[in-house]
Amino acid sequence: MRAAIMHCDLPEENWYAKYMKDFTYRYLPDYGIDYALIFHGDLMPEENDIDLVDISEFCSPWHQEVALTYSIPIVCSTEEGSLNSLRGYLEKNNINTKFMLSRISHFIARTSWTRDMLILFGIDNNIITVIPYGADLSTFKPANKEPEEPSFLYVGSINKQKGVDILLNSYLKIMNKTDWKLKIVVGEFNNDTDLFTELKLLALKYEKIQLTSFPSSITDLPEYYHNASCFCHIQSYGNPLQFGTPFLWAISCGLPAISLDYGAARDYIKNGENGFLCRNTEEITEKMLAITKMDGKEMGKVSRGIAERNHNPKGIAERYKTVYEVVLKR
């Protein structure tokens, strides 16, 4: 089986694109799937050299061009988790929705949240399969020792869509009630200037709030998780977490986690077992304080188990094979 996986609108030099390439598809050849990962701007293969095409979205002009170019089956492995965002992209980019949906044989949703959004969009549940991203379970693994100082950790861009302001306000309410610190690893893209400035001023004022730049290499990132006690990612309502790579790293490293009961967080957190899914922002403060008094090690074992069961790249490759075979037999 020969698949062209046109899976990223980013250039190959982007670290995130490399991460996906290395750990989501690495076992496909073990299941008889020869694949080429095509990045935006790369030369597309000849149709007679491949059996099917796998695209990352159907709301991209580039992928509409792919659908027009090929007549072979198309699978869409999508991260889209916001119905309003999806409709906006389609309208803005002049995408022929009816044509694109007629060309896509099967959808692979990265999370159950994405699946639910696709169903609301009108796509038949029978042609949707949830297959998450694979994790580098050997690099992102639990630490051998307890962190030197207990702390909450956030990894990602600094903006209100990510709920950083909610996390910050929640922590400030409990800061004097716990010795836990708040550590923030700042992402490289989409940082809100005003919020980032406010965060830097708070870090200067309070020793317990610490900022760190994102490391230059993925292999340096696990250290930040190993030196933390709980991961927090609280995307605001209206801006759902769609798949959450930092969440995936966190559970792989065996950290409990806290988030709103919304979006993709439900795929990573079993409420009360490896963290908390909060009903509102007030409950976030309550659960952040509660988790400082709980057995984080036992909760972390549940997190690691979720990563091993759901995000093992070898198991993911087998699931891809099943979908691809079904599509090619239609």
Rounded to whole angstroms, the Cα distance separating 193 from 96 reads: 36
> In terms of domains, do 155 and 301 share one?
yes
Q: For 63-88, what is each residue's pLDDT tens digit?
A: 899 999 999 999 999 877 667 677 77
State yes or no: pLDDT of 56 exceeds 80. yes
What CATH code is carried by the domain that includes residue 65?
3.40.50.2000
State yes or no: pLDDT of 218 exceeds 90. no
> In terms of domains, do 218 and 291 share one?
yes
Average pLDDT over residues 206-227: 92
- Strand pairing report for 128-130 and 104-109: parallel
Number of domains in the chain: 2
> In terms of domains, do 284 and 318 share one?
no
59-96 as b/e: b if 16+ CB within 10 A: bbeebbebbeebebbbbbbbebbbeeebeebbeeeebe
> In terms of domains, do 304 and 188 share one?
yes
- Strand pairing report for 230-232 and 34-39: unpaired
What is the model's pLDDT at position 5? 79
Element (H, E) at 322: helix 313-329
Prediction pTM value: 0.90
Q: For 97-144, what is each residue's pLDDT tens digit?
A: 899 999 999 999 999 999 998 998 899 999 999 999 899 999 999 998
What range does the domain containing 168 cover? 151-310
